[in-house]
Structure 1
Amino acid sequence: MDIYVTEIKIEDDKIKCYSETNTENVKPAELMIVDSDNMAIIYLADRPGEESYDRVQFVPETWPYLKKNYGKEIVVNDTLLLESFYDELDFLLDNIKDNNNYGKEFEEKVTEAFEL
């Protein structure tokens, strides 16, 4: 299931993300991937009883919030804490930098947004 982050607020020293998708009982998988075709950084999560991951999608419009508030706890719908988010993001950013395997446009957007 796709969980699209549609709103971000910075409150209580946290990045609070909101989605129309219910995230109750969803657990962090502590893995990240990208969807370079749709320009998204994706955090994977587990939903009990499901065989596939839920995909918390961060589109380019959300990236400046992640960069500016780097290190703050990230919570989706007040129920899903994205554990190990920055460890996974750092690993991904290291792989994306100067790597056109992700597509030139995606690599350029990520490099610009995160000032790589």
Structure 2
Amino acid sequence: MDIYVNEIKFEDEALKCLSEEQTEGLQAAARMTVGSEDQSLIYLLDDGEAFRRVHFGEKTWHMLRDHHGSEIILNTDVILTDFWDQLDHLVDTIEGNNYGEAFERAVKETFKQ
């Protein structure tokens, strides 16, 4: 099951990510990858049997950039641990990883200062 972040709010010093999909019982896997075909950053959750992919589409990236380092909570019940370390590593190593030129450019333009 894929989980799509539809909205992000900055409240109480945390980024609160909202999705219509249920996240109860899921645990942070502290790993990130990309979905270059749909222009998304993907954080992995573990349900005990398989990974679930949390998609952060390009429309959410500005909130991530503007509040870098804040705690990230998905649907009030899952804290996305090591999110920033994973994102920073992905941004630092994106060049030449065959994610597609447009995706690579969008990530660089948004996250590299």
- Relative to the length of structure 2, the TM-score reads 0.95
Query: Counterpart of 1:23?
Result: 23
User: Which structure 1 segments of 5+ residues have no match?
Assistant: none
Q: Hey, which bits of structure 1, 4+ residues long, moved more than 6 A?
A: none
RMSD: 1.1
**Distance verdict in 2 for CA 1:100–1:54, change over 3 Å:** closer
How far off its partner does 1:34 sit?
Answer: 0.3
Query: Counterpart of 1:70?
Result: 68
Q: Secondary structure at the match of 1:102?
A: coil
Distance in 2 separating the partners of 1:90 and 1:24: 27
Alignment coverage as a number of residue pairs = 113
Distance in 1 separating the partners of 2:88 and 2:10: 21
User: Which structure 2 segments of 5+ residues have no match?
Assistant: none
Letter in 2 for 1:66: L
How far off its partner does 1:37 sit?
Answer: 1.1
Percentage identity across paired residues of the two chains: 46
> Do the aligned partners of 2:29 and 2:44 also contact (CA within 8 Å) in 1?
yes
**Are 1:105 and 2:107 an aligned pair?**
no
Query: Counterpart of 1:6?
Result: 6
Query: Counterpart of 1:37?
Result: 37
